[in-house]
Chains A and B, each alone.
Chain A
């Protein structure tokens, strides 16, 4: 797939992959051998009829292909960009045994973009109104998915979003160069056209509790609030100026558009030498954002090796192409500040891999006496997130596990509170967009069944 040149793109926020042309899409679709028992579908958390949509691409019915995907996946333009296909549908593709699998994600992206740009958006048939009201808390991937599924089944759906713009992690977390915000806005707009109501600036648990939602007449509540609390390492100096959580750095840049300061009011520090701590997709997003903000050197500081990195290989590859430098088997032990309390260095220790830990990855062990300082004037700590406890703390009877994640059944999203369902990162901990969507789809079925049963 054509991409922006790394030397050019490291200075702009435009999307990196440029997408297939019609010709390229058809060529790729031709490679699909239309398996009788398609393994790719079983690799998809939302059961997209992959051979079906690929066949329509081959027949040049791109709109038809997009609609085929939308039968089970309401956010194809998003998933075509941010799904880890290499670990899902494409990993299962039979062609991958001997060569490259069919580029299912790129085809998905192509047809979704084709449909959106054409403006030929079909609103699906909705079931007659049931008179039942469902409150969806959070407007990220899970919330948007379940809202779409339930409104199509005839229920009256209201999404409550804490921030001033809907989209959750799709708008505050994932950068423009990976997921243009206009795409998220189009998906949200589509839901509104379907009849979903979206209320912003309401933090459930603060402005209203879950119980108050029931008092307001909602028949069921879905919690899809994500894992929103940043994790810090608790090493000395971590609160120095110039040290951000990834959540803060990306929220400033993406949601608040600080990269366009002063056209937008929200400021953001512009580091010349930036350390980004961690090894996940969010680490790569932060590192690549820092480059685009004008850093000379961006160092990803990760305590294991590239093999253990949770980031998608594509993201690591893109980061490297753009000039992000990797300091592997390296862990921060202290931050050093200047006379103004601004970070000027990070003291790191070299690690080596020992015996496998409970995650199955070899445990990094510090090498004694190996400490050294990397000069940095900005740091982003991107080592993961935790559950925000605000809903659990204000909803009696809602059970959580020892990490504050909500306990919910895998197959239905049912929680320990009747009529309260949950799915996505607030149940599983930080995972992917598509897994949150998969959980939301199951919860939609369960809520629909419950509402019908209740009559």
Chain B
């Protein structure tokens, strides 16, 4: 997991919770979408947190401080609908904790009571714990291996919160696709509106190519301009999963040949 601050005053000035950027590390690079975790209008910077999963994120993580990115475009996507819903549960899994954090912050600012549930595979890769705790009225942690907090999944913790009789007005759940799917399955029987942030493959990310199309309530939507947030109960997660795997073999090949331009 890597945290990076990027000097991008135009993006910082406009950025709202839930939005993302597209960046390229070098001229031959791929355009990849990354969600914005934070920004500072004052010093003109934006903050991203990403997991090293492929060639672009590897190269990005190896860029030394002060290096220039080839392209940064944003902020993109619709911002999160923020209002005082009442009691809101913000669930973040893995790198999704970074995505849900600015939303939590904005929801807190709007006067919501915040129950945060964050989780990771293991304690060492849990991010933004203190920052999230600070924004939360109730703060809960889960790890898959039990090395910290609840031994199990964030969805189990959410189920416990629901079982405790807590009235929940809305859930925001952001993390790996299987996690978001399970969270939606947990909240569906109780009819608790659950917002998820989708991360399909994108190219231009401005509504031009349709690479990021997802099916929501039976309608095709472009995550880049219609999203990235959607009502999770309407999302076709199977389709999202299979489309995310579209370039699996390419990604492996690119990783094997990995050679980052900034180090040539």
Contact = CB atoms under 8 A, between A and B. Distances in A.
A335 B195 CA distance: 30
B28 to A, nearest CB: 5
B203 A241 contact: no
A239 B209 contact: no
Interface in B207-222: 207-211, 213-215, 220
Contacts of A163: 204
A262 B71 contact: no
A234 to B, nearest CB: 7
A245 B14 contact: no
Contacts of B114: none
Interface stretch (A51-59, A199-207, A395-403): A199-207
Nearest to B211: A248
9 contacts: A164-B24, A172-B208, A200-B71, A202-B10, A202-B73, A203-B73, A208-B10, A239-B215, A241-B243
Contact of A234 (B71, B75, B203, B220): B220
A239 B10 contact: no
Contact of B207 (A229, A234, A244, A269): A229
Interface string B184-209: 00000000000000000001101111
A242 B210 contact: no
A265 B210 contact: no
Nearest to A234: B220
A331 interface: no
Contact of B246 (A228, A256, A269): A269
Nearest to B14: A207
Interface of A: 162-164, 172, 200-203, 206-208, 228-230, 232, 234, 238-242, 244-245, 247-248, 251-252, 256-257, 261-267, 269, 340-342, 388, 390
Contact of A261 (B11, B213, B220, B250): B250
Contacts of B246: 241-242, 269
Contacts of B14: 206-207
B233 interface: no
Given A230-B209, A256-B31, A265-B55, 17 more contacts: A201-B71, A206-B74, A208-B10, A232-B213, A241-B242, A245-B210, A251-B203, A256-B30, A256-B203, A265-B28, A265-B29, A265-B56, A265-B254, A266-B30, A267-B247, A267-B251, A269-B246
B18 to A, nearest CB: 14
Interface string B72-89: 111110000000000000
Given A261-B250, A265-B56, A247 B242 contact: no
A407 to B, nearest CB: 21
A390 B204 CA distance: 14
Q: Is the interface of B mostly helix, strand, loop or mixed?
A: mixed
A264 B24 CA distance: 12
Contact of A239 (B31, B74, B225, B239): B239
A341 B246 CA distance: 9
Contact of B73 (A162, A240, A241, A266): A162
Contacts of B251: 267
Contacts of B213: 232, 239
Nearest to A257: B28
Interface in B28-47: 28-31
B26 to A, nearest CB: 9
Contact of B250 (A201, A229, A267): A267
A262 B209 contact: no
A267 B30 CA distance: 8
Pairs A-B, 7 closest by C-beta atoms: A341-B242, A267-B250, A248-B209, A164-B71, A265-B30, A245-B210, A267-B247
Given A201-B73, A251-B204, A239 B243 contact: yes
A416 to B, nearest CB: 23
Q: Interface of chain A, helix or strand or loop or mixed?
A: loop
B234 interface: no
A239 B220 contact: yes
B245 interface: yes
Interface of B: 10-11, 14, 24, 28-31, 55-56, 70-76, 203-204, 206-211, 213-215, 220, 225, 238-239, 242-243, 245-247, 250-251, 253-254, 257
A340 B242 contact: yes
Given A234-B220, A252-B203, A241 B30 contact: no
Contacts of A341: 238-239, 242-243, 245
Contacts of B225: 390
A340 B245 contact: yes
A235 B230 CA distance: 22
Contacts of A232: 210, 213, 220
Most chain-B CB neighbours within 10 Å: which of A262, A264, A388? A262
A335 to B, nearest CB: 13
B210 A230 contact: yes
Nearest to B11: A207
A370 to B, nearest CB: 27
B70 A164 contact: yes
Contact of A203 (B24, B206, B238, B250): B206
Contacts of A261: 250, 254
A228 B29 CA distance: 23
A398 B242 CA distance: 40
A262 B73 contact: no
B55 A247 contact: no
Given A248-B203, A262-B257, A267-B247, A206 B76 contact: yes
A224 to B, nearest CB: 15
Contacts of B11: 207
A287 B213 CA distance: 22
A245 B242 contact: no
A266 B208 contact: no
B250 A207 contact: no
Contacts of A245: 209-210
A256 B31 CA distance: 9
A164 B245 contact: no
A338 to B, nearest CB: 10
A207 B10 CA distance: 7
Contacts of A390: 206-207, 225
Given A239-B239, A264-B28, A265-B55, A247 B71 contact: no
B182 to A, nearest CB: 20
Nearest to B56: A265
Contacts of A240: 242
B221 to A, nearest CB: 10
A252 B31 CA distance: 10
